[in-house]
Structure 1
Amino acid sequence: MKRFWLLFVALFGLWGCSTVDIEDYRAEKPVLELRDYFNGTLDAWGIFQDRSGKVVKRFHVLIEASWQGEVGTLDERFTYSDGSTQRRVWTITRLGAGRYTGRADDVVGEANGEAAGNALRWRYVLALPVDGKVYNVDFDDWMFLMDDKVMLNRSLMSKWGFRLGEVTLSFVKREAG
């Protein structure tokens, strides 16, 4: 009987958990317009933490971003603390009403994004190489515009619903000119 009550309490606790909705940020300022923020040169600094919270990678990303109408290109060049490098080129399409889709070579299928107020939620599956194997990992990104230069990003990584780790990034937009 004790096991039954423990299971009941655990399940009730899960049902009671609410999820954050992008609409929760609709009134937040400054308003994030992807075409404005991701336009020009940006720097980002980040860390990857495993599920225990240990920082296992640090990195810098140089981003060259531009738009042609409703289609944007983000050319990301990663430099990791161990000296390794990586490049990812995103093609992002603005669908209207705060919705976006995106593609990159290591993204499985299509990424889907939704913006409201100062926030963007970006969800996708990334083909992640680890020790000679490739794993398809779910990413749930939340980006928050702090001002016209700074944006913070928190990405939760999971596989089959199990949390694998977290990526935290700070973007800084360079002055034009």
Structure 2
Amino acid sequence: MRILATIFAALILAGSMPSISRAEAASELRLEEQFAGRTIARGHFRAINGVKRDFTVTLHGKWDGKTLALREDFVFDDGERDRKTWRFVRTGPGRYTGTREDVVGQTHVRIDANVARFSYLVYLDPGERKNKVRFHDTMTLNSDGTVLNTAWITKIGLPVAWTRVEFRRP
């Protein structure tokens, strides 16, 4: 019964996920061009257990010709703060590998035109290492220069949450 409730909740969440039309899409996404320098974002996290968290994030990216170091400074609406740093290494046209301090192993980013897709494992409680989930990110560069990132979060293969973040250049 619990599995059916989880699947039902995931289907409800799927219906509320925003979609991007081809008219809104831009031509090509390059992480080093989009995220070098300062970027501001606003987002929210929603889980099937009712947890809701809204946040802002300020990103500072530095591109050295091969690696994009991308520091993310999060401020949640409840006042909590967090900092994460991605390191994306360009491995070929539209291809990157990425690491972050809370990511298990690395992720492989694949970009097709204006859409980047990647998946990675994260311990939500890094000290205890008991709550491991997988993020399935899709980033879309829109024609207005914003980037919309939507991600499904799964646990043992079942959807448990999703997040939506919109990035803008100041």
Q: Indicate the RMSD between aligned Cα atoms, in angstroms.
A: 2.0
What is residue 70 of structure 1 aligned with on the other side?
A: 66
What is residue 83 of structure 2 aligned with on the other side?
A: 87
What is residue 32 of structure 2 aligned with on the other side?
A: 35
TM-score (ref. length: structure 2): 0.80
Matching of residue 163 in structure 1 with residue 149 in structure 2: no
Task: Compute the displacement of 1:148 (Å).
Answer: 5.6
How does 1:7-156 map onto structure 2 within 5 Å? 29-51=26-48, 54=50, 56-129=52-125, 134-147=130-143, 149-156=145-152
Counterpart amino acid of 2:83? R
Task: Compute the displacement of 1:147 (Å).
Answer: 3.0
List gaps (5 residues or longer) in structure 1.
1-24
List gaps (5 residues or longer) in structure 2.
1-21
Deviation readout 1:35-70 (Å, 9 max, x if unpaired): 110111001111111126x56100000000110011
TM-score (ref. length: structure 1): 0.77
Displacement over 2 Å in runs of 4+: none
Greater Rg by CA: 1
Distance 2:83 2:73 in 1: 5
Report sequence identity in percent.
31
Kept in 1, the 8 Å contact 2:123–2:129? The answer is: no
Distance 1:147 1:62 in 2: 22
Cα distance change on mapping 1:30 and 1:136 into 2, 3 Å: same
Q: How many residues align?
A: 147
